[in-house]
Structure 1
Amino acid sequence: RAAQGFIDSIFSLMNVPLRCPDYSCVSRRAKSVNISFKTPTRGEIAHLVIDSTGLKVFGEGEWKVKKHGQERRRIWRKLHLAVDSKTHEIICADLSLNNVTDSEAFPGLIRQTHRKIRSAAADGAYDTRLCHDELRRKKISALIPPRKGAGYWPGEYADRNRAVANQRMTGSNARWKWTTDYNRRSIAETAMYRVKQLFGGSLTLRDYDGQVAEAMALVRALNKMTKAGMPESVRIA
């Protein structure tokens, strides 16, 4: 409503006979708005990193939970992102209910792009046959750490079985992560941090279709900011 008043004042100063739509009008129209973000359709992606985060729809803040405990009515949505580790550009994005697991959302997420991808990195939540089968179908090298004590899978799961063999030899996934440069996956976490710092960690609309449009608008805005330029870090000591 503050933004509405601000825009109305600009119209008034410019002598433009227009009125800014009120919040209720925007909320109703958001249900039918089809917001999509466009990324380059050509060019190889060397390394795609995948992760997800929660966006709050309804619920108490952290301070209230800390002081008085958590109430039952808390509603979240999960934002799934696939990011080009070189350009920091979000290539694929999806919004799901909070009861949808990361591995269940993965196939639909990765199918949004038809560009050639050399490798894709994700955390242990994606260590399922569903995810590995989708990566094999698209001929993408899988960089997904197997769970502790994982066993070999029969069939064409060479990437995963190599990771399992390395885990059994060294006792952990640490060496495998170092040799495969898996730690680039932290760029996906950086993208999640940027979303929450720049736009907040919550969705304002209550209708699910409106929430999808709102989330895609956030992704589109973040990609535009990324294209404008990313900060360059220089070591000084």
Structure 2
Amino acid sequence: MKIGLIGFGKTGKAVASVILQHKNFSLEWVMKKSSTLDNRNTAEYLGIDSEEQGKIYSSGTMAIEKLLDEQPVDIIIDFSSNNGIYGYGEAASERKIKIISAISHYTKKEKEFMKSLSSLTTVFWSPNITLGVNYLLFASKFLKKIAPWVDIEIIEEHFKGKDGVSGTALKIAEALDLEKDDINSVRAGGIVGKHEVVFGFPFQTVRLIHESISREAFGSGVIFVAENLADKKEGLFNFEDILTPYFSV
């Protein structure tokens, strides 16, 4: 499966390294804003032994339409910014290229744009694309269904420079019908990402915790999603759509 990666920050680099080392996927190219790494080989830059070129391009010097025509891919993975989808969305959907977006925050405008793209191709979006945190989300929903009266608090911890409330925490709150005020945020040091859901029962407490040890976890999540989208047609999908069949017993 041929992959194109949009965004090459810390997480984008970690995702690229995972894709480069997976035998069933080929990283064809990386697109980023800055031209500082133009025409560099991704594997060489990351110090990974790979035969793949994975050449790096700048959006300022390479038109996305030209790139998609000259180096076609099956899936575009987006780890750029909330407005990045406007730069490649239409070109990708017109060419029936699947889109996997791992952007934490989207406004109503971006969500509506993704929905319009999904009429032409497969579009997937998750604020946190790690498998573990989405399993936590499922387990939390099931526990609340069993005991809808339970007290619930959400704690999210991230690196010191992260702005705003975690998109994942907001997603958990939404799924559990909680308010933003029920989210407790911690910013300290270089914490990659930790989410905890605390269920306060009379005489007992249940805590569901997910912690990202390294950003490569996002790469593993991308691989899982890509594999499960292989047979999907046009439409807008999320992790719940992918995980639900696994919970059938």
Q: Which has the higher strand share?
A: 2
- Structure with the larger helix share: 1
Give TM-score, length-normalised by structure 2. Answer: 0.30
Q: Which structure: larger Rg?
A: 1
